[in-house]
Structure 1
Amino acid sequence: MTTANTEDAAKQIAAKLETLLDSQTEIIPWEQVDYHWKQKIESAIASDTPPSYLIYPHTQETLAQIIQTANEQRWAVLPCGSGSKLNWGGLVKNPQLVISTARLNRIIEQATGDLTVTVEAGVKLADLQQTLKQHNQFLPVDPAYPEAATLGGIVATSDTGNWRQGYGGVKDLVLGLSIVRTDGKIAKAGGRVVKNVAGYDMMRLFSGSYSTLGVICQLTFKVYPLLESSQTVVLTGDANGIEKATATIRMSSLTPTAADVLSSGMVHQLGIGKGIGLILRFQGIPESITQQSNQVKMIGQELGLIDSIYREDEENPLWKRLQELITISQTESSVTAKIGIIPTQMISFIRQLDQLTDEQGLGMINLGSGLGSLLLESEAVLSQLSKLRSLLETGQGFLTVLTAPKPIKQQFEPWGYRGNALDLMRNLKQKFDPNNILSPGRFVGGL
């Protein structure tokens, strides 16, 4: 598309939008978009042709009008929150509009006694946690970019983090949601109590949908009381010892709220020992924490592993550093990925990761679910990705590329899905987004 044609298209879009936007809605032409937003958007789209506008609706109703108009005009839309995960998944094909829910940031209702909270999608997790803390409550998710991440973006990418061990995934915390459909209608599902009804399980369907079926505008979460005390135990050593320790802990009555196996590269970067690592967080009453921590130490000592204890001021920085290492790329060629594997095979995979990357690859896998994260930085990253995906798929697992330079995503399909549910996903996409305007190309199979 020539520059003149692009400008004409932008003017036509602006003319259509002017009739429906309220006075508070911010509509920013591409040439006026902030440099950091431009970087995020350019890394998320397939072509070199930028979108015409970045739009911040301030109400759910205005958001619905914009989506309805985009659908009628066949404008491709890239929805997002703060943009922290905008470049996760596949490259989006030719979006005309980027629509941010960052200004939909009201905490609508906090039912303290019911342990629920209802928020708009643009509320930042960090802000919600501060509000909940005033009532001795919290939402147990620990996503990438926790200071910037919005709740809509966290659910759309199903980005739970380390608390998965104790509290389940994001989809297990969502009691209800509202979404803007492509026809402009606002549809609601669930509520402040869990209730099964006939039809789609919308909370699970939209968790991890990457805004390809609808735009999340409101959410109700189950929250939890703040825990009285916390302590982290780390075991490090040879792979055989860590493998036996994970098997013992998995079969025990121990109840860590976070539990992850760490690659040798991750252990080295954290400065917590040598070899492969196992990191466990215990939270609750002090007596229980002490008892469980001592039990883990005994398991480690019997297997010749080195143990370390992190308390109070040492503990939170350790988990923060862990999250930063696995999500924040250090070079322009870095690749981050989400992986899944049968839990009993995770140590074998970590061994192979260490061998393939000369212990430079960073890996972390949840003890219970087998879900994890990778960060690779190498000139041979394409070869490494292919080999690691093959290893995981052999063990009935998967590797999904989250962030990577455009040339990598153009050569290495980010999702690599080979299961039998693709026809079902296509049917769902056709039902929810028949004109294919929502994040086209971002999801599995180019959906």
Structure 2
Amino acid sequence: MLEPSTVDEAAAAIKTLDGPVHPTGAGSHGVPAVGDTLSTGKLNRILEHNPGDFTAVLEAGVPLAEAQEAFAKAGQWLALDPPAGGTIGGLVATADSGPARHRYGGVRDLVIGITVVLSDGTVARAGGKVIKNVAGYDLAKLFAGSYGTLGLIAEVAVRLHPLPLRTATLTGASADPGRLQAAVRKLNSRPLEANCLDIAWTGHSGQVLVRFGGHTAAERAEAARPLLDGLDDVTVSTDDDAIWAAQRQSQRHPDGVTLKVSGRPTDLEKVLARGEPVVGRAGLGLYWVRGPAEAEWVADVRAALTPRACSIVDGAAPAGVDPWPAPDRGALEVMRRVKARFDPARVFRPGAFVGGI
């Protein structure tokens, strides 16, 4: 296992490789290993934190929880709350996210600069340390969600946000997917400035969950009650951390398969009507569907939800299926060219990405 402690050490190590390599952080995202392991465990320093600018620069191996603890001392946070936690580099590589994505966006929206090591040992940098930065090619967006197939993410510059000191969650329940869909449509049409807008579905009934943050969180949640007048058991909770921890946890299913559906808010009723447990970002059209580790079940869901892309978060190997949906031929050709440009020697996790890239 390679375990460099500096970017230069990482570049030197990669330059001498004669086979495939698998970059890894904490291993919390369950990405299957391809080749020798290159760990970012010793690239674990917070290099800069600029509270006045709401920015920070971190090495890839910094645990997200550790970074959040440091930022919280200044009343700030990196507005990412993925279910698996893990390291900064792993979070960028997998583009993982949680309920806060509704307001703050995904990884690609919060990374403003990046340093990567390519397969020939070249160290490439893009972006910067200020939020309004348009210099250079946006490598950060390209590497977000690349699953370690283009190069090693070594350092990341991120934008921060004020840490909400108070939160409150408005919930409403129904066993009718159509009523939940109507409530989400109504909520989406109003300028609520909610931190989160989620759905939770057990397979037979579910809830719409809306979280507010800030000093007036409880008052805003109460004011939004009429928007859920078509649902049952409408309540407001100011002790809501456990609610959202459960939402994040339900995005994973270590004993079965979790399919991530990249769709539209209007797909909600169709997704819920299948009868499987679901959580999701109701306002964004992202859903995590849980089921058995069976190839037939995966194929059935994918066929029912076509043309929406359904990728597998957990359980691809036990189910014996490709974790990636079949890509558009034009998009696949573009991705192949990008892979050839950044990793012509196919050092980084060859064959592990969409279309066998």
Q: Quickly name the TM-score band, shorter chain normalised.
A: over 0.9
State how 1:137-152 maps to structure 2 within 5 Å.
137-146=76-85, 149-152=86-89
Residue among 421, 430, 446 paired with 2:331: 421
Of the two, which has the highest radius of gyration? 1
Give the gaps of 5 or more residues in structure 2: none
**Corresponding residue for residue 19 of structure 1:** none
One-letter amino acid matched to 1:346? L
Change (3 A) 1:92 1:103: closer
The structural deviation recorded for 1:328 is 4.3
Determine helix, strand or coil for the equivalent of 1:82: coil
8 Å CA contact retained: 2:172, 2:231: no
**Corresponding residue for residue 243 of structure 1:** 181
**Corresponding residue for residue 255 of structure 1:** 193
**Corresponding residue for residue 307 of structure 1:** 234
**Corresponding residue for residue 204 of structure 1:** 141
8 Å CA contact retained: 1:336, 1:402: yes
RMSD over aligned CA atoms reads 1.7
Determine helix, strand or coil for the equivalent of 2:251: helix
Determine helix, strand or coil for the equivalent of 1:280: strand
8 Å CA contact retained: 2:259, 2:289: yes
Note if 1:400 corresponds to 2:311: yes
State how 1:359-378 maps to structure 2 within 5 Å.
361-377=276-292
Determine helix, strand or coil for the equivalent of 2:344: coil
State how 1:4-403 maps to structure 2 within 5 Å.
54-70=1-17, 73=18, 75-87=19-31, 93=34, 95=35, 97-146=36-85, 149-193=86-130, 194-197=132-135, 200-237=137-174, 238-265=176-203, 275-286=205-216, 289-301=217-229, 303-312=230-239, 315-329=240-254, 331=255, 334-352=256-274, 354=275, 361-377=276-292, 381-394=294-307, 397-403=308-314
Q: Distance in 2 between matches of 1:325 and 1:260?
A: 12
Change (3 A) 1:304 1:227: closer
Change (3 A) 1:225 1:440: same
Q: Distance in 1 between matches of 2:166 and 2:61?
A: 31
Give the gaps of 5 or more residues in structure 1: 1-53, 266-273, 355-360
Which stretch of structure 1 is more off in the superposition, 224-233 or 427-436? 224-233
Which stretch of structure 1 is more off in the superposition, 400-409 or 76-85? 400-409
One-letter amino acid matched to 2:236? I
One-letter amino acid matched to 1:184? G
Change (3 A) 1:243 1:365: same
8 Å CA contact retained: 1:300, 1:306: no
The structural deviation recorded for 1:139 is 0.7
After superposition, the C-alpha distances for 1:275-301 in whole angstroms (9 at most, x for unaligned) are 221111110122xx2343123322223
Note if 1:435 corresponds to 2:345: yes
After superposition, the C-alpha distances for 1:349-385 in whole angstroms (9 at most, x for unaligned) are 1112x1xxxxxx321121232122222236xx32221
Q: Distance in 2 between matches of 1:304 and 1:236?
A: 5
Compare the two structures and name the one with the higher helix fraction. 1
Normalized against structure 1, the TM-score is what?
Answer: 0.76
The structural deviation recorded for 1:260 is 1.2
After superposition, the C-alpha distances for 1:378-431 in whole angstroms (9 at most, x for unaligned) are 6xx32221121122223xx1100122152424xx22112331310000001001
The structural deviation recorded for 1:115 is 0.2
Normalized against structure 2, the TM-score is what?
Answer: 0.94
Change (3 A) 1:217 1:366: same
Determine helix, strand or coil for the equivalent of 1:129: helix
Q: Distance in 1 between matches of 2:237 and 2:182?
A: 22
Q: Distance in 2 between matches of 1:321 and 1:299?
A: 24
The structural deviation recorded for 1:162 is 0.9
Change (3 A) 1:173 1:429: same
Change (3 A) 1:348 1:56: same
Q: Distance in 1 between matches of 2:77 and 2:306?
A: 36
One-letter amino acid matched to 1:385? V
Q: Distance in 1 between matches of 2:249 and 2:354?
A: 26
**Corresponding residue for residue 270 of structure 1:** none
Q: Distance in 1 between matches of 2:150 and 2:84?
A: 24
One-letter amino acid matched to 1:365? G
One-letter amino acid matched to 1:429? K
- Residue identity over aligned pairs, in percent, reads 30
Moved over 3 A (4+): none
After superposition, the C-alpha distances for 1:21-42 in whole angstroms (9 at most, x for unaligned) are xxxxxxxxxxxxxxxxxxxxxx
Determine helix, strand or coil for the equivalent of 1:326: coil
